[in-house]
C-alpha cells in the first residue's frame, strides 16, 4: 500500500512535499516523493489523503484510559481536592466499569492519532483494551500498599498479573512493566520492592513523582491535604502516626527508598524539582513524561522541560488522566505544552518542531522503542497517522509543523494506522466494538459515579 499526502513528515528528517510512504507487512518499506514512489511501485494500491500530513503516530506516555468515564465529573477543583475525590469515585467502579471506561479511552486515543500508550493499571483494563483495539502499548502494573505488612502480598499479586499479561500479550506491540503509585498513596518501601522486581524481571518502571505543591509540602513538611488523606487511608492498619516530615523533596525521598535503582525508570509530571533533584535524575538517567494540560488544569505548575533536555534526559508527553483534562487531544497537548514552555523557559524558545519531536520520537525514546516507532523510517513499524491541513484558515502553508501544532486538533486526525493496520479512517472504524452497547454502559457508569 502506498500512502500519499501533501506532506510526509518523517520527524527525524525534513518534511517531504508531495510525499508518499510504502507500507508492506506492517512495516515502512520506502519513504520519498510521491511521483518517484509511484513509478517505483506501480502495482501498489494508493491511499491519497490529499491536503494532509502523514506523520508518525503520537505516543501518549501517561494515558490513564481507565478513567475516561469520569470526564467532566471532577471539574474546576485544585489538585489535592481532585485527587482525593478521584480516589473516592474510583471505589465505586467495578471491573466491568473499568473495562468499558478503558475501551472508551482507547478509542479516543486512536481517534486523536495516538498509536502508542503508556499506562499504569491495577485492574488490567488498559492492557486488555490495548490488545483488543490493536494499540501499541507499555502497560505498567501498579502496585502499592499503605500498610507495611501488606506490601509483600501486593507485590506477589502484581507479579502474578505481570506474568499473566506477558503470556496473553501480542509481544510485537506490547511491553509489560511495573508501576508505583504517588508517594501519598503507598508505604515507601514499595519503591524499593518495585526496583528489586524490575531488576529481577527486566521490567520498565513508571511512577508519578513531584507532581504538585501539595505533594512537595506533604513530603517535606507533613502539612498538606494529603496528610489527612494519608491518615484516613492508614486508619485501622497501624498505631504510629501515618506521616512524619522528611525535610527533603519528593525526588530525594523516592531516591532514598531506591526508586531509581532499575535501568528503565519513567517519572511522570515532575513539575516540582530543584537543581539537586535534576542532578540525581541525570545521574540515574531517569526518563521524563511531562503532562502540560493536566498539570495546568489542576494548578500544578509547569515541568521544566528545557532543563530536562539540557540534562540529556529523554522527555516525552502524556495526556494524564481524562478525569482531569476531559479530552484526549494530543495535538492540543503539543500546542498548550509549547505555549507554557515559552512562558516559563528562559533559555529556549520552544517551537512546533520540538513539540512534534517530543510527541513522537521523544516518547519512543522514553519507552525504549525508538528502534521500532516514533519516526517514518525504512524498517520501522508502520504506525502512521494523517492530519488534515485542508481548512481555509491554514493557507498558504509555509511550515507543516507550525500548522499542525498551532491550529490542528483531534477533529483534524483523519487516519490512524498501527503496524500497517488501519484502525480509523475518515470517520470509519475498523475495530471490533459495539458502539451502541458501549454508549449504554457509559451512561450507567456515569449515573453510578454521580450518585
Average of pLDDT values for 147-165?
A: 96
Residue 33's domain comprises 2-56+373-429
CATH number at residue 424: 2.30.40.10
pLDDT, greater one: 235 or 104:
104
Confidence of residue 185 (pLDDT cuts 50, 70, 90): confident
Tell me: the pLDDT tens digits for 17-47?
999 999 999 999 999 999 999 999 999 999 9
Tell me: the pLDDT tens digits for 267-324?
999 999 999 999 999 999 999 999 999 999 999 999 999 999 999 999 999 999 999 9
Average of pLDDT values for 354-369?
A: 98
**pLDDT value of position 243:** 59
Q: Is residue 271 assigned to a domain?
A: no
**pLDDT value of position 395:** 63
Average of pLDDT values for 315-341?
A: 96
**pLDDT value of position 362:** 98
Average of pLDDT values for 391-415?
A: 86
Predicted confidence (pLDDT) at residue 437 exceeds the cutoff of 60: yes
Question: What distance in Å separates the CA atoms of residue 386 and residue 401, rounded to the nearest whole number?
Answer: 13
Across the chain, mean pLDDT equals 93
Q: Is residue 160 assigned to a domain?
A: no
Average of pLDDT values for 98-105?
A: 98
**pLDDT value of position 394:** 58
Predicted confidence (pLDDT) at residue 431 exceeds the cutoff of 60: yes
pLDDT, greater one: 200 or 346:
200
SS (HEC) of the chain: CEEEEEEECCCCCCCEEEEEEEEECCEEEEEEEHHHHHHHCCCCCEEECCCEEEEECEEECCCCHHHHHHCCCCCCCCHHHHHHHHHHHHCCCCHHHHHHHHHHHHHHHHHCCEEEEEEEECCCHHHHHHHHHCCEEEEEEECCCCCHHHHHHHHHHHHHHHHHHHHHCCCCCEEEEEECCCHHHCCCHHHHHHHHHHHHHCCCEEEEECCCHHHHHHHHHCCCHHHHHHHHHHCCCCCCCCCCCCCCCHHHHHHHCCCCCCCCEEEEECCCCCHHHHHHHHHCCCEEEECHHHHHHCCCCCCCHHHHHHCCCCEEECCCCHHHHCCCCHHHHHHHHHHHHHHHCCCCCCCHHHHHHHHHHHHHHHHCCCCCCCCCCCCCECCEEEEECCCHHHCCCCCHHHHHHHHCCHHHEEEEEECCEEEEECCEECCCCCHHHHHHHHHHHHHHHHC
**pLDDT value of position 393:** 61
**pLDDT value of position 171:** 94
Tell me: the pLDDT tens digits for 295-307?
999 999 999 999 9
**pLDDT value of position 396:** 64
**pLDDT value of position 241:** 42
Question: What distance in Å separates the CA atoms of residue 234 and residue 146, rounded to the nearest whole number?
Answer: 6
Predicted confidence (pLDDT) at residue 234 exceeds the cutoff of 50: no
**pLDDT value of position 226:** 67
Tell me: the pLDDT tens digits for 236-256?
334 334 556 889 999 999 999
Q: Is residue 380 assigned to a domain?
A: yes
Average of pLDDT values for 346-374?
A: 97
Number of independent structural domains in the chain: 1
Q: Is residue 410 assigned to a domain?
A: yes
Q: Is residue 321 assigned to a domain?
A: no
Q: Which range, of 85-89, 99-103, 258-262, averages the lowest pLDDT?
A: 85-89
Tell me: the pLDDT tens digits for 60-100?
999 999 999 999 999 888 998 898 899 899 999 999 999 99
Q: Is residue 18 assigned to a domain?
A: yes
Question: What distance in Å separates the CA atoms of residue 108 and residue 264, rounded to the nearest whole number?
Answer: 28
Predicted confidence (pLDDT) at residue 232 exceeds the cutoff of 60: no
The pTM (predicted TM-score) of the whole model is 0.95
Predicted confidence (pLDDT) at residue 229 exceeds the cutoff of 90: no
Q: Is residue 138 assigned to a domain?
A: no
Predicted confidence (pLDDT) at residue 392 exceeds the cutoff of 80: no
Q: Is residue 8 assigned to a domain?
A: yes
Amino acid at each position: 500500500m502506498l500512502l500519499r499526502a501533501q506532506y510526509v513528515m518523517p520527524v527525524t528528517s525534513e518534511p517531504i512535499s508531495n510525499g508518499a510512504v510504502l507500507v508492506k507487512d506492517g512495516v515502512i518499506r520506502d519513504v520519498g516523493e510521491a511521483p518517484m514512489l509511484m513509478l517505483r511501485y506501480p502495482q501498489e494500491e494508493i491511499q491519497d489523503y490529499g491536503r494532509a500530513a502523514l506523520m508518525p503516530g503520537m505516543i501518549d506516555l501517561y494515558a490513564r484510559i481507565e478513567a475516561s468515564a469520569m470526564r467532566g465529573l471532577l471539574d474546576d477543583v485544585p489538585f489535592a481536592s481532585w485527587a482525593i475525590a478521584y480516589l473516592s469515585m474510583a471505589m465505586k467502579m467495578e471491573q466491568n466499569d473499568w473495562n468499558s471506561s478503558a475501551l472508551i479511552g482507547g478509542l479516543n486515543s486512536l481517534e486523536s492519532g495516538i498509536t502508542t500508550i503508556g499506562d499504569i493499571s491495577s485492574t488490567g483494563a488498559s492492557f486488555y483494551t490495548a490488545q483488543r483495539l490493536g494499540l501499541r502499548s507499555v502497560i505498567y502494573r501498579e502496585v502499592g500498599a499503605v500498610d507495611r505488612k501488606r506490601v509483600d502480598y501486593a507485590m506477589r499479586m502484581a507479579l502474578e498479573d505481570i506474568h499473566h499479561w506477558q503470556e496473553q500479550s501480542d509481544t510485537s506491540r506490547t511491553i509489560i512493566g511495573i508501576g508505583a503509585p504517588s508517594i501519598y498513596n503507598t508505604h515507601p518501601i514499595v519503591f524499593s520492592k518495585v526496583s528489586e522486581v524490575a531488576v529481577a524481571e527486566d521490567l520498565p518502571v513508571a511512577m508519578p513523582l513531584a507532581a504538585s505543591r501539595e505533594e512537595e509540602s506533604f513530603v517535606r513538611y507533613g502539612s498538606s491535604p494529603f496528610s489527612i488523606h494519608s491518615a484516613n487511608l492508614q486508619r485501622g492498619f497501624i498505631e504510629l502516626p501515618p506521616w512524619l516530615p522528611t525535610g527533603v523533596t519528593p525526588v530525594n525521598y523516592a531516591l532514598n527508598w531506591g526508586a531509581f535503582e532499575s535501568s528503565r525508570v519513567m517519572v511522570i509530571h515532575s513539575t516540582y524539582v530543584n537543581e539537586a533533584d535534576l542532578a540525581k535524575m541525570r545521574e540515574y538517567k531517569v526518563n521524563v513524561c511531562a503532562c502540560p494540560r493536566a498539570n495546568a488544569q489542576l494548578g500544578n505548575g509547569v515541568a521544566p522541560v528545557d532543563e530536562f533536555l539540557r540534562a540529556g534526559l529523554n522527555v516525552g508527553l502524556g495526556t494524564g488522566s481524562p478525569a482531569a483534562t476531559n479530552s484526549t487531544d494530543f495535538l492540543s497537548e503539543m500546542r498548550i505544552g509549547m505555549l507554557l514552555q515559552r512562558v516559563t523557559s528562559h533559555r529556549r524558545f520552544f517551537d512546533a518542531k520540538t513539540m512534534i519531536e517530543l510527541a513522537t520520537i521523544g516518547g519512543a525514546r522514553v519507552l525504549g522503542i525508538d528502534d521500532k516507532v516514533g519516526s517514518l523510517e525504512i524498517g520501522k513499524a508502520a504506525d502512521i497517522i494523517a492530519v488534515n491541513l485542508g481548512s481555509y484558515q491554514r493557507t498558504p502553508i509555509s511550515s507543516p509543523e507550525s500548522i499542525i501544532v498551532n491550529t490542528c486538533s483531534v477533529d483534524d486526525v483523519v487516519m490512524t494506522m498501527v503496524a500497517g493496520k488501519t484502525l480509523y479512517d475518515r470517520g470509519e472504524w475498523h475495530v471490533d466494538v459495539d458502539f451502541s452497547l458501549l454508549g449504554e454502559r457509559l451512561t450507567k457508569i456515569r449515573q453510578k459515579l454521580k450518585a
